[in-house]
Each structure stands twice: as structure tokens, then as C-alpha cells.
A and B are shown apart, each in its own frame.
Chain A
């Protein structure tokens, strides 16, 4: 299910939102490695799911305003440029 951005999200700046996305993604990646060796740790799994939902919310809100992070997020409008016209992450201005 696609989460709608709530009002405070809409007032968040691009850099601030990207920082949130990276933070969520970091928690997810780190927990994933832990869960690989502790697959039955329900507490770790709960944290994973919580941050997965948070990541989804920020990634969707970011996509609507600043461009998509994954090509699967492209919509008919504004189209492919939401993926292709944003700077690649190795450029200073993308960070």
C-alpha cells in the first residue's frame, strides 16, 4: 500500500528528506545482515518492518517532489525524466 505523505512531510526540504531516506535505508541494511544470522529474532524483525514502512513513506514523498530513487517508482506524469534527469549520486550536488 502506498502511504500518502502527511502535512509535515510536505514542508520538509529535499536534503532533509534524503537524509531520512538514507537513515532508514542504513537501518534496514544493517538489520538485514543481523537477521541473516539471527532469522528468528522477532524484535529485530519488528524494527526492520517499522523502518521499512518509514522508508516507503519518505521514498514515495521524495519521488513526488524531487525525482524517483528506483525506476519502478516512475509514473506517467512527469514521466521518465523523474528517473533520468536527476543527478547521479556521485555528483556533489546530489549529496
Chain B
């Protein structure tokens, strides 16, 4: 069960609307490296994780990604609020405006709508955790690129916070990977981590006799 807390994880207070910036930043809501994909990836992968620690980690990081979705949406919302149709058009926002007005719709910067094809849930713990490590790096580099292009200090402040969280998540996923690798090394096949899939094969994590 999820509960709502009526506050952003980190404040978003943008003084100057800027639709050009909004069109770029919305990619972290609905784009291939974005927060919606992150939340869906972790919250769907967690069910077949073979360790309680990993189920907990994916639940807690997945939940934080929902808070990040909300922050990105808040940034886009504030960046497009109060502009006239003429201003929106002049700032390159007409193609979004014609379908969505200033409603929040998850798309990539290129305009491609959010798709589950941007992430995987493989039912294989090693493949999933490696995907998660890569996903955090992809989100980090997207924030780096946003920071190369965005000069608004209010926007940069919130983006920097989100970028830093990707690095923390990457660290924690690395520790998660180490936890399952240590468990696999204690099984009947200590030198072959691919002997079985602990997310699927029931007896995979059975410890070897000493």
C-alpha cells in the first residue's frame, strides 16, 4: 500500500516560466531515462527478488522515484504556468500545447510518449540489478545534460538534487548486487553464479554442505 504525504521531497519554486526548458525537462517524466520508467522498473521487479534486502531496496527506491516523478511534474507545471498561447508558441511549446494544453503528460523530449519498452523486468536477479545500475547512470547523465542547457537557478537547484539521488541509488544497487553475489558464492555451485536463477529456481540458494 502506498500513502501520500502532501509535500515534495525537495522544494520546487520557480520564479520565471520558461516553456522551452519545460519541453526538455519533461523527458525526465516520460523519457527513456526518466522517473516514471524508474518507478515502474523497480516496483515491478521487486516481486521475484530472492532476498528480503533486495525486495526492500527496490520498494524503497521505487517509492522515492514516485516522489521524483512528482518533482519533475511540478517543475514542468510551474515552468508553463501563466504563459499566453503566443508566448508558449514563441518558446517552442506549440506542438505539445496543441494536444495537451499545459496538462502534464509523460513524454520524452523528442515527443515520444512514455513506454514500458524503455525498461525491463527479467525475473533474473543479476540481469535486473545490472539493468538498475545502468538506469541510475542513464538518469544521472540526462540530468547532467539538462544542467548543461538550463541556466535558471531555481530549476538547476531542484535538478541538482535529483541528479545526486541517482548516484546514491547507484551506490545502494551496487551493494545489493554484492549481497546476492555473496549468497550465490555460498551455494552448491560457489564458482558459477549462473548455475541457476535464484529468482526462479526454488533450491538455487541452498547452501553447500561444509
Question: A18-B7, A70-B6 are contacts. A36–B12 as well, Cβ < 8 Å?
Answer: no
Q: Are A37 and B176 in contact (CB under 8 A)?
A: yes
Does chain B have a CB within 8 A of A48?
A: no
| Residues of A contacting B179 in the complex (Cβ-Cβ under 8 angstroms) | 37
> In the complex the two chains form, is B78's CB within 8 Å of A33's CB?
no
Asked if B141 is at the interface of the complex by the 8 Å CB criterion, the answer is no
Interface-facing stretch out of B27-35, B53-61, B113-121, B199-207: B53-61
A30–B5 contact, CB under 8 A? no
User: What number of B residues sit within 8 Å (CB to CB) of A?
Assistant: 29
Q: Which residue, of A30, A67, A70, A89, has the highest number of chain B Cβ atoms within 10 A? A: A89
| Residues in chain B near residue A18, CB distance under 8 A | 7
Instruction: Tell me, yes or no, whether A80 is within 8 Å of chain B by CB.
Output: no
Residues of B within 8 A of A68 (CB): 6
Question: How far apart are the CA atoms of A68 and B10 in the complex, in Å?
Answer: 18
Secondary structure type dominating chain B contacts = helix
Instruction: Give, as a whole number of angstroms, the nearest-CB distance from A4 to chain B.
Output: 22
Q: A34-B172, A36-B172, A83-B6 are in contact. Are A95 and B11 (CB under 8 A)?
A: yes
Task: Choose one: B64, B77, B175; the contact of A37 (CB below 8 Å).
Answer: B175
Query: Is B3 close to A, CB under 8 A?
Result: yes
Interface residues on A, range: 20 to 34
Looking across the interface, which residue of chain B has its beta carbon closest to that of A84?
Answer: B6
Contact B7 A22 (CB under 8 A): yes
Q: Which of A39, A70, A88 contacts B53 (CB 8 A)?
A: A39
Q: How far is the CB of A18 from chain B (nearest CB, A)?
A: 7
CB distance from A44 to the nearest CB of B (A): 13
With an 8 A cutoff between CB atoms, is B8 at the interface? yes
CB atoms of A89 and B53 under 8 A apart? no
A70-B3 contact given A33-B57, A90-B12, CB 8 Å threshold? yes
A21 to B11, CA, bound (A): 12
Q: Give the residue name and chain of the B residue nearest to A68 (CB).
A: B6
B9 within 8 A of A: yes
Q: Determine the distance from Cα of A11 to Cα of B86 in the docked complex, in whole angstroms.
A: 46
A89 with B169: CB separation less than 8 A: no
> Can you spell out 22 A-B residue pairs with CB atoms less than 8 angstroms apart?
A18-B7, A22-B10, A25-B9, A32-B60, A33-B57, A33-B168, A36-B60, A37-B179, A68-B6, A69-B6, A70-B4, A70-B6, A71-B4, A72-B3, A83-B6, A86-B6, A88-B6, A89-B8, A90-B70, A90-B78, A92-B12, A92-B14
- Which A positions have Cβ atoms within 8 angstroms of B? 18, 21-22, 25-26, 29-30, 32-34, 36-39, 67-72, 83, 86, 88-90, 92, 94-95
